[in-house]
Amino acid sequence: MPRYFLEVSYRGTNYSGFQTQQNAVTIQSEIEKALAVLKGDLSPVLTGSSRTDAGVHALQNYFHFDTDMPVTHWRDIIDQDRFLYKLNAILPADIVVKSIQQVIETAHCRFDALSREYKYHIYGSKDPFLAGRSYYFPYRLDREKMNEAAAIIIEYTDFSSFSKRNTQVKSFLCQVQKSQWIDTANELIYNVKANRFLRGMVRALTATMLQVGRGKMTIAEFREVIEAKDCTKASFAVPAHGLYLVAVNYPDSYFK
């Protein structure tokens, strides 16, 4: 049966997360509802590539689905542009489907992903245009110490200390490929890339490094938090609205 990948982007403010939940409005439930309008009773069930929590945004995320009917035949939709236009016209303004691509039947948007990349946005001066899209944190920060802490993260693979307790994962091992703080004109951004992430991991890393930046934790103590493998040692105290999933990466030529 043909398989398709949907590339999506969304602002997560109004949603209870990415994946379908009982009695909750999610990104998946909204897209499945829109597909049902186009395909009727045979609307497909979506599989997601990377879960995001309530309030978290995504510049790029993926679903895949199977259908025995070519997408171009759905309700007289004659080409991809027309399909995307109709689907996006049904979806809320804060969700957009950016592309749809047919892939081999064994392709899996979650298990085939090589890496995922996140950014956490912080701003220190009051700005109405960043409110709700970045975390307002009006404190003096030692950027050099924060980047030193960010570099240390790459040395480790066990991130038990930065995972929420209510998780069903069997392994807390992650291969972090990039970890750095970026200073822009208006924001301080933590950029991290890894083969996988644990639940709450990016926010916990960010919040704990902010403690380093404020001088409330030394670099040595930051190492101790990582090595403790105990989530009670880390801070999780940053809000969801500053976090963005910016990319899900697949092998070269994966979509060809």
Helix (H, G, I), strand (E, B) or coil at 217: coil
Catalytic residue among 41, 53, 112, 230: 53
Span between the terminal Cα atoms of the chain, in Å: 18
**Tokens representing residue 44 in the block:** 């497909």
Yes or no: say if 31 and 63 are a contact pair by the CB < 8 Å rule.
yes
> In whole angstroms, how large is the CA radius of gyration of the chain?
20
Catalytic residue at 53?
A: yes
Closest to 149 measured CA to CA, from 203, 200, 220 = 220
Specify the residue for token string 């929590």. Answer: 53
Q: 113 — alpha (psi -120 to 50), left (phi > 0) or beta? A: beta
Catalytic residues: 53
